[in-house]
Amino acid sequence: MTDGPAVMKELRAIQRANGYIPATALHELSDRTGTPLYQIQGVVSFYPHFRLTPAPPVEVLVCDDLSCHRRGAVALLTETQERVAGSAPPGSVVRAASCLGRCDRAPACAVNDVVVSRVTADSLMDAVAAAAAGTPIRADAVVRDPRTLDVDPYGAGERYGAARKLAASGDTNALIASLKASELRGMGGAGFPTGLKWEIVRNTPGDTKYIVCNADESEPGTFKDRFLLENVPHLLVEGMLLAGLVTGARRGIVYVRHEYEAQIEIVEHEIATARAAGLLGTNILGSGRTFELETFVSPGGYICGEESALLEALEGKRAEPRNKPPFPGTHGLHGKPTAINNVETFVMVPSILAHGPEWFKAQGKNGAAKEALSFTSEVRRALRDSRGGCIGHGRNLRKSQLRAHGTAVRGATPSVLRLRRL
Ligand SMILES: Cc1cc2nc3c(=O)[nH]c(=O)nc-3n(C[C@H](O)[C@H](O)[C@H](O)COP(=O)(O)O)c2cc1C
Ligand code: FES
């Protein structure tokens, strides 16, 4: 049997080639890989992104989650259904969908799997017409922030300083001590101490270990990981490399939601740059250490963000959460010790090592630390009107304010608040 990522990649390739996954292709894949057909069927039927029947000529998904709902998704859905019924090829489909990962550019839609954002009813119909004519649909462009984020210790200077230092010294104890002293906690939600997680993986015996980045980010209204993937991919690659050098893992995987196609390209470009500079691959910077890094495109589904479900998906299975314990630190991908962290967690590590743990702790108050938050301008306005000012301009944000205003925002112009203080 081929490994999990290979099965998923094959399924994606079959769907790309045919527009869906024909039964004959499933039989062929089963025979070729020695994977029982029922297992492959079970996998394909689990993920909403895989199709077992031919795709409609035009399929429009209108996101009606949080941000898009507030930007008129319901009316857009109704109008588009009417207009498509009158103009697009028979069999075309328009339906509501959950978050498409463009919450800062609502309303967002997908037309034949291409995500388009900040649409109007007219611009959406242009995309529908392109799909019906078989011409390319203009996808979202990534606009990178020209500023250096505070979380980037390198600016225009030489990058990967923390990894170079560790490759030369081999002092993994010092790195773990710094992370523990910084009190960095996982940014994916559960807040587990990162230094302790990496120490557990390092101390668990085994020749094969993994580093996994959770870039599934499917929570409606959330786009902070996407922003980091676009703007500081070098910090993600360096954070994962540091994790590999510390724990002894030789392979890392960046698990990214499939709607982040442009961001996947950005990360892959950074991986290639790092590899060309001798920072990935074998004998990293002459240290004798190996660390390979690759991306994995999620077959979709909110539950894939839960770490054990994500590992199941990586193994080519249905993304059904595992019972815990054991935890991934000791029994992770393929049952091997695995450090799985959120994008932001990895991104934070180089600056902690460059500036020191006390610097990191000084970024927050009362035990809180630096943290990236996704806001729309509605929330920004509400915060500006209140006592604490706007976090985007480097002021402090009180949780009580966020709670008070986060549920009571008014207005209708969501947009990205670039987190200058990140
Ligand atoms: C239903 C569910 C969805 C989740 N989705 C995400 C996600 O999209 N991204 C993420 O990093 N963590 C997500 N998590 C948390 C992960 O399970 C895990 O705690 C995290 O990836 C660990 O990384 P960290 O220690 O850096 O936070 C989710 C958890 C649950 C229960
Ligand atoms: S893209 Fe619509 S809520 Fe996220």
Return the pLDDT at 373.
73
Return the pLDDT at 366.
58
Rg, C-alpha atoms of the chain: 22
79 in ligand 1 pocket by Cβ < 6 Å?
Answer: no
Using CA atoms, how far apart are residues 70 and 66, in angstroms rounded to an integer?
A: 6
225 in ligand 1 pocket by Cβ < 6 Å?
Answer: no
140 in ligand 1 pocket by Cβ < 6 Å?
Answer: no
Instruction: Note whether 313 and 298 are within 8 A (CB).
Output: yes
DSSP-assigned letters across all residues of 161-218:
HHHHHHHHH--HHHHHHHHHHHT-B-TTSS--BHHHHHHHHHHS--S--EEEEEE---
Instruction: Note whether 137 and 255 are within 8 A (CB).
Output: no
335 in ligand 2 pocket by Cβ < 6 Å?
Answer: no
Return the pLDDT at 153.
95
Over residues 56-84, the pLDDT tens digits come to: 999 999 999 989 999 999 999 999 999 99
Domains and CATH numbers, the chain: 4-46 (no CATH), 59-133 (3.40.30.10), 161-361 (3.40.50.11540)
Return the pLDDT at 381.
59
Among the bound ligands, the one closest to the CA of 376: 2
Query: How many of the other CB atoms lie within 10 Å of CB of 259?
Result: 25
Q: Which long-range contacts (CB under 8 A, 24 or more apart) does 363-368 make?
A: 363/421, 365/396, 367/183
Instruction: Note whether 187 and 314 are within 8 A (CB).
Output: no
How many Å lie between the centroid of ligand 2 and the Cα of residue 340?
25
218 in ligand 1 pocket by Cβ < 6 Å?
Answer: yes
Among the bound ligands, the one closest to the CA of 67: 2
DSSP 71: T
Is residue 109 classed as helix, strand or coil in its secondary structure?
strand
φ, ψ for residue 181, nearest 5 deg:
-65, -30
DSSP 59: E
Supply the pTM of this predicted model.
0.91
Is residue 85 classed as helix, strand or coil in its secondary structure?
helix
Over residues 354-410, the pLDDT tens digits come to: 999 999 988 776 555 667 777 765 666 556 555 443 344 334 444 444 443 333 223
Which parts of 210-260 are beta strand (E)? 210-215, 251-256
Return the pLDDT at 367.
57
CB-based contacts of 220, cutoff 8 Å, min separation 6? 65, 66, 67, 98, 99, 103
Among the bound ligands, the one closest to the CA of 191: 1
Which residue type is seen at 166? Answer: L
119 in ligand 2 pocket by Cβ < 6 Å?
Answer: no
Using CA atoms, how far apart are residues 338 and 127, in angstroms rounded to an integer?
A: 42
CB-based contacts of 164, cutoff 8 Å, min separation 6? 285
How many Å lie between the centroid of ligand 2 and the Cα of residue 193?
30
Along the 422 residues of the chain, how does pLDDT read in single tens digits? 456 568 888 999 999 999 999 999 999 999 998 889 999 999 999 998 899 999 999 999 999 998 999 999 999 999 999 999 999 899 999 999 999 999 989 999 999 999 999 999 999 999 999 999 999 999 888 988 888 888 999 999 999 999 999 999 999 999 999 999 999 999 998 999 999 999 999 999 999 999 999 999 999 988 999 999 999 999 999 999 999 999 999 999 999 999 999 999 999 999 999 999 999 999 999 999 999 999 999 999 999 999 999 999 999 999 999 999 999 999 999 999 999 999 999 999 999 999 999 999 887 765 556 677 777 656 665 565 554 433 443 344 444 444 433 332 232 222 333 333 33
How many Å lie between the centroid of ligand 1 and the Cα of residue 77?
31
Which parts of 64-178 are beta strand (E)? 93-97, 109-111, 114-116
Return the pLDDT at 394.
38
Instruction: Note whether 359 and 341 are within 8 A (CB).
Output: no
Measured in whole angstroms, how far is the alpha carbon of residue 272 from the centre of its chain?
Answer: 19
